[in-house]
Amino acid sequence: MLLIGTVSVSWYLAVGAVLFVLGAVCMATKRNLLGVLMGVELVLNGANMNFIAFGSKVLRPEGSLGLDGQLIALFVIVLAAAEAAVALAIALNFYNNHNTVDVDRANELNG
Amino acid sequence: MATSKIDDPRVIEFDVRTDEMLINMGPQHPSTHGVLRLVLRSDGEVVSDVEPHLGYLHRCAEKIGENLTARQWIPYTDRMDYLAAMNMNLGWSLVIEKLIEYDLPERGRHLRVIISEMGRIASHLVAMGTYGLDLGSFTPFLYGFRERERILNLFEEVCGARLTYSYLTPGGATADLPSGWTDKCREFLTQFKEVIPELHTLLTTNSIFVSRTAGIGVMSARMAIDYGCTGPVLRGSGVYHDLRFHGEERYTEMYDGYVFDVICADPETGKYPESNYEFHGDKLDYPEIPRQAILGDCWHRFYVRMLEVVQSVRLIEQAIEKYEATSGDWGKPIKLIQKLPAKEAYMETEAPRGQMGFYVVGNGDSIPWRVRARSSSFCNLSVTAPLCQGILLADIPAIVGSLDVVMGEIDR
Amino acid sequence: MDLIAVAWPYWHQFFFVLFAATAIGFGFGVLLSKNVVRMAFYLVLSLGSTAGLFFLAGAEFVGAMQLMIYVGGTMVLLIFGVMLTAQKDFINMDTHTQDWILATIVGGSLLMVLLFGAFGSEDWKTPQDITDAEVQATKEATPLGLALTGIRVDTLGESTDAVAEGKSGYLMPFIIVSIHLLVVLIGAAYMARTKKLSHATDDKSSRAKLMLFKMEHEEEQLEEEQYVVTHRAKSALNPLDSENED
Amino acid sequence: MADFIDYLFGIDDSWFSYLVAALVAAVLILHVVAVGALLFIWMERKISGRIQDRLGPTRVGGKFGWLQTLADGIKLIAKEDITPDLADRFLFKIAPYIGLAASYAAFIALPFADGVVGQHLNTAVFFVLAVLGLEVFSVILAGYASGSKWSLFGAMREAAQVVSYEVPLGMCVVVPVMICGTMNLTTIANMQSGFFTNWLVFNDPFTFLTAIIYFTCATAGVNRAPFDLAEAESELVAGFHTEYSGLRWSLFFMAEYSSMFIVSALASILFFGGPHGPIPIADILGLLPTENLGSGSAQAFNENADGFFAAMNVQVMIARVLGVGNLILKGVIGVTLMMWIRWSFPRLRIDQVMTMCLKYCVPLAAIGFIGATAWQYLDLPTGNALVDAPRYEHHEMWTDGLSKNESDVEAEAEAVESVEEVQTPHANDKVTDASSVTVKTVPVSVEKGGDQ
């Protein structure tokens, strides 16, 4: 039985693109530090989608990236976890010092 | 010397500063033993301040006592420490007897020892069981209650009631022990002795129990005395004080001729009295004091209660023999409208939770002019606030439970 | 039976639409929600749906990894952060309107570019057929694990020098990432610590220390002040008690 | 199963048979969750009753009160569903469903017996752990959304605890994965077929240690006493579910009991032979066509007979029912053990729980992992050597090319390619097809043929 209907790599890329843009807009608009962090996660996820799509042998038996796509995606996930841990530590520190997580208040270095 | 304590594991350092929380624990809370209300100021799991609030069970018992005769007020004493109502009856009876200068016949004296020590066992069983419950162990609670039910069966045979007995009255008791009761009592003691090691296994020596209680809520002897703590709470801090030894003549003479230990660690050596606990003819040592336990902590308070139960068993065994050896009057109750002389009397007895004092002023009438009760739990509870500073939230039930308060006695 | 016998080869498509819709929908939820915890919740669902897409694309291990690390670990961490940095109600952190407008314009343009790229290549746009058995064969996790230890199973057939020497894998990046994680772990723990602890006199922990300090002093004073009721000779009170001696 | 339905209706590759197969699997698993919860709650009552010297339920449903839970369930459904004023209504209402969905979804990849599994996943171990980890979300959301401080405390405790215990839990799970060389639960289970000495728990001292650590961490991971801090009634009233009532409250319990079962079942698959009993009864009775597998090892189940019905062989079906019974029995034993622990011990404190995780469980799990690796590496005698019951060998061909001389590489590569042509498990559903392949040379994909 054929599993694939009309879904191709492009569709996955499109979903990835939408997630990426949503994350980017989220990063740009949120004033809450944690909201910005969530935007970063979304962006990374959107990027990951591309790696998976290009590396998928299900979507593209010929000409796919193969294992490399999945492996890069793995590294991205692991590094995203590390990034989240550090960013949260920064957020907590920021909160301890400023008593808020509003990024607009981080303006000590303004000239 | 002070720096060594700074490394104490009980001191929790803050990694992350968070907002303070004001939490209301009680009066409807599973571990506040009735209707105690604790207002906690906490930072995450760390409680910085505890303020106990009382009065949710206040029934004006003392004022009612000023409108009833001495014997009529007996049922109200039942409802003070409702877990050890016999001991409450005893305290009131003794103070009235002191006021009217009544001397109890010897048979009645032994009867009172039997009954009040049985009451002590029943009360400590609840204290033990609910303490397990406070720490999240449900099973010992039911084991404790199973034994308590046996005691209550015996009490029921004596006076017809299972909770509020009104059995011991000024003048003696409402009735003599029924025939054959002492044998049943012996039977109970025999099987109860087998249960004590079980309880020790489930709680006293259980490593989780020890880690939850040892070193928690440490109260120095000085502090215990300053706050007026009495009973097992005081003795758990290493203060050798038991009214059955150190009380008034009128009370201690009840225990004349009895052999028993005051369960209290020697503050110098930290040792408890030698075990005199026999089990199937073998002398069993008390469980060893764990390494982490500090004199005056929750574990010691619990341990004192567990060992006091053994002493009570010992006392009852002696009392039954003495009771059976005597005959004659057990002490009839005084008249319902007994006139009280125009003077005052105050008397403290060693109730299971500490020194229960009753104060009565007569004015020549049968109704006392002034009645006042000194509650042991009230004083014991007052140490909650200083003990519960800088501890974890989970330690609060451990500390409050180890004080073993009964709100009926505190609020009266 | 004729009706049901018609093969419906659109399972992949069906689930793709399902997961893609939830991923994007909850992505919008993250963007538009004002409550941080709800944002986190929507992000969890969005990432979970993405994991579903990964499963669908045959990357089972990465999908499970996504669930485990992202959804299970990172998000719990994030919610911790949300709760620890609880905001007062009166602090307004709404986005400025001009920010919204600007972000929408820039984001929209970016999306256009990306979509143009995504559908630009004929090779990417054309779906390729694959049999069920072939799908099963692609879902192996072992090659992935071997690749992380430096062995590329899928390129064994190629006789390049790198393959022959077993150097085509991802061993080096794997080790680098491991060390990186360790550094991050230590660094995050270090950064999240409060540095004011030592000289904060009104700190609660200091009060607890003070309490203990005082208690220790009290114990010392105890003997001097003779507060303890000394051990009385029990035998004096109880002449019958011969086994006890003071 | 889809193949069976195809066969039943005489149709080929229809969406209908897939749908029916999926529905049947889903409903069966739902029964494990729902009926399992009913059974376990009843069991908990009876066991706690017996431990505490009382009877437990005695009346409802005739003897033993076995319908008590059902009666309570009906009561809970009829109860008013209260949402507190200060609650975040949406999250408050949705939180219980997330927990249930997570523990339900984890059953997808759990093989009850060889071929009796919702969906074959090559990364089943990882999947089950990952999905179970999602359950913590329901607790966090419930705690946050309740708008009660007690609930929030419970949620924070649970989050801290579960996240911490995932570390040693994962390390313990890696040990069987490492010994078996696969994350496929079916294969891990089948490698322990034969006598109980083949169970991985008896493989070497370090796996034994690991099994104990796993069980401890799993108990903590599913929030059971003495680690049930999130719902510590003496401290936090009822923890995260303080504000819940009625059906939503009972959903938390269903989730809790089904995750208890799933971690026990996972333990039994990883360490205690899974669907294989201590004595290979099915093998001894000759229910399984072992001759097809060649090597004469104690291979209890024929993996190539894919799916429950696919083999169309009554004997194999009986063997699989036995296997399902075995696994469920082992899971229930694990749950009973957890109950026994719960009703015997006091509760730990939050800092002690963390200390236990970081100071004891993690180092011990690491020691277990390193030790088991060394044991494998040094090729020391394992448990199955004691009774001379050779283990069914799981052998993958992926790296064979590397061990050969460079001149052999190309020839080997061709062999790999030819093997990949054989990797069509659904085409080879028949038992007899495996006869041509001996165990030693079965390429892994054929062994692990997917269901449906």
B239 inside domain: yes
DSSP letter assigned to residue D359? I
Residue A85 sits in a domain whose CATH number is 1.10.287.3510
User: Which positions in chain B touch C91 (Cβ < 8 Å)?
Assistant: none
Q: How confident is the model at residue D214 (pLDDT cuts 50, 70, 90)?
A: very high
Chain B contacts of A92, Cβ < 8 Å? 16
* ipTM higher than the 0.85 cut: no
Residue A98 domain-assigned (yes or no) = yes
Question: CB count, 10 Å around CB of C129?
Answer: 10
Model confidence at C226, in pLDDT bands (50, 70, 90)?
Answer: very low
Interface test with D, best of C13, C18, C69, C142 (most D CBs within 10 A): C142
Nearest chain D CA: its distance from B209 CA (Å) = 6
Whether the predicted pLDDT of B290 surpasses 70 = yes
Chain D residue nearest residue B401, CA to CA: D234
Domain-embedded: residue B275:
yes
Averaged pLDDT for residues B170-183: 86
Q: How far is Cα C210 from Cα D108, in angstroms, rounded to an integer?
A: 56
> Does residue C194 register a pLDDT over 60?
no
Residues B11, B114, single domain; the answer is no
Domains in chain D: boundaries: 82-395
Q: What is the pLDDT of residues B80-128, one digit of tens each?
A: 888 888 888 998 999 988 888 888 888 888 888 999 999 999 999 998 8
Q: Two tokens at B22?
A: 């004001």
pLDDT tens digits along C147-179:
777 766 666 555 566 655 555 677 888 888 889
**In this structure, are residues B33 and B20 in contact, taking their beta carbons and an 8 Å threshold?**
no
pLDDT tens for C175-187 read 888 898 888 888 8
Q: Give the CA diameter of chain B.
A: 73
**D387-390 long-range contacts, CB within 8 A, separation 24+:** D387/D195, D387/D197, D389/D194, D389/D195, D389/D197, D389/D198, D389/D298, D390/D295, D390/D297, D390/D298
For residues A42 and A27, what is the distance between their CA atoms, to the nearest angstrom? 9
Task: Determine, yes or no, domain membership for A47.
Answer: yes
Judge whether C167 lies within some domain: yes
Mean pLDDT value of segment B148-158 = 90
Number of domains in chain C: 3
Same-domain check for residues B161 and B308: yes
Residues of A in Cβ contact (< 8 Å) with B17: 96
Q: Residue B392 domain-assigned?
A: no
Distance between CA C60 and CA C57 in Å, rounded? 8
B271 vs A: CB within 8 A: no
To test the contact with chain C by mutation, choose from B40, B244, B318, B389 the residue with the greatest count of C C-beta atoms within 10 A, namely B389
Residues C91, A44 contacting (CB under 8 angstroms): no
Quote the mean pLDDT of chain D: 74
| Cα–Cα distance for residue pair B92/B357, rounded to 1 Å | 8
Task: Look at residue B46 in the predicted model and tell me its pLDDT.
Answer: 78
CB D109 within 8 A of CB D183: no
For residues B228 and B343, membership in a common domain is answered with yes
State the pLDDT confidence band at D422, using cuts at 50, 70 and 90: very low
Residue A97: which domain range? 13-104
Beta bridge partners of D420: none
pTM recorded for the entire structure: 0.80
Average pLDDT over residues D25-42: 83
Check CB contact under 8 Å for B394 and D229: yes
Q: Identify whether residues C12 and C83 lie together within a single domain.
A: yes
pLDDT value at residue C131: 63
In this predicted structure, the answer to whether residue C25 has a pLDDT above a threshold of 90 is: yes
Inform me whether the C-beta atom of residue B132 falls under 8 Å from chain D C-beta atoms. Answer: yes
Interface probe with C: pick from A36, A65, A72, A74, most Cβ of C within 10 Å: A74
pLDDT at C5: 40
Does C123 contact A at CB distance below 8 Å? yes
pLDDT at C175: 87
- The residues of B whose Cβ lies within 8 A of any Cβ of C are 1-2, 5-6, 8, 10-19, 43, 46, 48, 218, 220-223, 225, 238-241, 245-246, 252, 257-259, 261-262, 266-267, 273, 276, 386, 389-391
What stretch of H or E contains B358?
strand B354-361
C213 touches chain B (CB under 8 A): yes
Q: Which residues of D touch B208 (CB under 8 A)?
A: 226, 345-348
Same domain assignment for residues B124 and B95: yes
Judged by CB atoms closer than 8 Å, whether chains meet at D91 and C38 is answered as yes
Predicted local distance difference test score (pLDDT) of residue C23: 92
Q: Which domain holds residue C123?
A: 95-139
- Same-domain status, B47 and B175: no
Q: Are residues B31 and B125 in the same domain?
A: no
Q: What pLDDT is stored for residue D404 in this prediction?
A: 41
Please tell me whether residues B82 and B41 are part of one structural domain.
Answer: no
What's the count of helices (H) and strands (E) in chain A, helices before strands? 3, 0
Do C11 and C83 have their domain in common?
yes
Q: Is the pLDDT of residue C197 over 70?
A: no
A3 found inside a domain: no
When pLDDT is cut at 50, 70 and 90, the band that residue C202 belongs to is: very low
Which of B37-46, B235-244, B377-386, D405-414 comes out lowest in average pLDDT?
D405-414
Report the C-alpha gap between C124 and A8 in whole angstroms: 7
What does pLDDT average to over chain B?
Answer: 83
Check if the beta carbon of residue C40 is closer than 8 Å to that of residue C82.
yes
The 3-state secondary structure of chain C, one letter per residue: CHHHHCCCCCHHHHHHHHHHHHHHHHHHHHHHCCCHHHHHHHHHHHHHHHHHHHHHCCCHHHHHHHHHHHHHHHHHHHHHHHHHCCCCCCCCCCCCHHHHHHHHHHHHHHHHHHHHHHCCCHHHHCCCCCCHHHHHHHCCCHHHHHHHCCCCCCCCCCCCHHHHCCCCCCHHHHHHHHHHHHHHHHHHHHHCCCCCHHHCCCCHHHHHHHHHHHHHHHHHHHHHHCCCCCCCCHHHHCCCCCCCCC
- Do B24 and B138 lie in one domain? The reply is no
Q: Count structural domains, chain B.
A: 2
Name the more confident of D425 and B262. B262
Q: How high is the pLDDT of residue B366? A: 86
Assign residue C23 the CATH number of its domain.
1.20.120.1200
CA–CA min distance C76, chain B (Å): 17
Q: In chain A, how many domains are there?
A: 1
Same domain, C43 and C68: yes
Q: Are residues B109 and B70 in the same domain?
A: yes
Q: Which chains touch C (3 or more CB pairs under 8 A)?
A: A, B, D
CB proximity B16 to A under 8 Å: yes
* pLDDT surpasses 70 at C21: yes
Would A24 be classed as within a structural domain? yes
pLDDT of res. D416: 46
Determine the pLDDT at residue D1.
Answer: 58
Residue C69 near residue A76 (C-beta atoms within 8 A): no
Note the pLDDT tens digit of each residue in C100-138: 888 888 888 888 888 888 888 777 777 666 666 666 666
Q: What is the pLDDT of residue C228?
A: 37
CA nearest to B253 within chain C: C237
The tens digit of pLDDT for each residue in B239-264 reads 888 888 887 888 888 888 888 888 88
Q: What is the pLDDT of residue C184?
A: 85
The answer as to whether B389 is a domain residue is no
Instruction: Compare D290 and D37 and report the one with higher pLDDT.
Output: D37
B372: containing domain: 61-382+397-411
Three-state secondary structure call for residue B396: helix
CA distance D335 to D342: 10
How big is the B-C interface in CB pairs under 8 Å?
105
